[in-house]
């Protein structure tokens, strides 16, 4: 039952990436209709794993940012003496998605209330942070945090100006897609109110296994709300 419920959650995540409605209108265009985001939410393997699956994301890479050491190594960052965060750089097509939608996935795939780490990974390099490139991105981040705090969450995510991003070693890139498995300190939970059942139905039509269990989706979500402490 737990495995089936986990599948429900992953399906919900995929559809929410593609179909979330906007509460905030904030987007900045570039010459090539592309934009960039840098986000930190614990181990960068998990951050990249979820964000690269957002429809409209063109590329991702993991690396280090926010610190004072140039060209840091993984070992240096793990020493907690560089000031750097483990982060993911996301390049996305603004005709297919926007910064707000990416931030919603960011917030819903880690615990933004945890301080000084994420899951079992403790330390300043694992803190939750949004690195903004302009005032529009900053406002979008602050507005979403305000929405979550209005739901009773105490958000620990920092909103910081973008700094130099140093790409991490090659063995960290696309880690789970190369090695298999799923993130150990990231997961999906609903934080923003959306018509998830409609989105799930669209996905289930494309998946024979999901179709076979569509009838029980509503009942699963009724107890899932309590199980995952969904915030509405």
pLDDT-wise least confident of 79-88, 175-184, 199-208: 199-208
pLDDT at 201 > cutoff 70: no
The span from the CA of 225 to the CA of 182, in Å, is: 22
Topology, domain 26-186 = 3.30.1060
CA angle 68, 49, 61 (to 5 degrees): 40
Catalytic residue check, 185: no
pLDDT digits (tens, 9 = 90+) for 86-144: 999 999 999 999 999 999 999 999 999 999 999 899 999 999 999 999 999 999 999 99
Q: Which of 11, 17, 43, 210 is catalytic?
A: 43
pLDDT at 19: 42
pLDDT-wise least confident of 11-15, 27-31, 102-106: 27-31
Give span(s): CATH 3.30.1060.10, the chain: 26-186
> Between 17 and 38, where is the model more confident?
38
pLDDT at 32: 75
> Between 148 and 207, where is the model more confident?
148
CA angle 108, 111, 114 (to 5 degrees): 155
pTM of the predicted structure, to 2 decimals: 0.73
The span from the CA of 47 to the CA of 180, in Å, is: 15
The span from the CA of 99 to the CA of 33, in Å, is: 13
Strand partners, 160: 131
The pLDDT confidence band at residue 14, using thresholds 50, 70 and 90, is: low
pLDDT at 213 > cutoff 90: no
């Amino acid at each position: 039952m737990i495995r089936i419920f986990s599948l429900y959650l992953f399906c919900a995540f995929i559809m929410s990436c593609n179909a979330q409605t906007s509460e905030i209108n904030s987007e900045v265009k570039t010459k090539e209709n592309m934009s960039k985001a840098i986000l930190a939410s614990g181990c960068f393997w998990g951050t990249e794993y979820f964000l690269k699956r957002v429809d409209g994301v063109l590329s991702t890479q993991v690396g280090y940012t926010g610190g004072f050491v140039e060209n840091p190594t993984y070992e240096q960052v793990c020493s907690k003496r560089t000031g750097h965060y483990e982060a993911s750089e996301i390049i996305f097509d603004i005709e297919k998605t926007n910064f707000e939608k990416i931030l919603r996935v960011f917030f819903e795939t880690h615990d933004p209330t945890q301080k000084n780490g994420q899951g079992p990974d403790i330390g300043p390099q694992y803190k939750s942070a949004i690195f903004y490139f302009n005032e529009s991105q900053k406002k979008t981040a602050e507005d979403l945090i305000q929405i979550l705090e209005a739901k009773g969450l105490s958000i620990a995510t920092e909103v910081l100006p973008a700094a130099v991003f140093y790409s991490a070693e090659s063995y960290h890139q696309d880690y789970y897609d190369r090695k298999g498995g799923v993130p150990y300190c990231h997961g999906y939970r609903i934080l923003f109110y959306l018509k998830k059942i409609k989105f799930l139905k669209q996905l289930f039509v494309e998946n024979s296994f999901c179709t076979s269990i569509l009838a029980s989706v509503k009942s699963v979500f009724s107890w899932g709300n309590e199980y995952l402490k969904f915030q509405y």
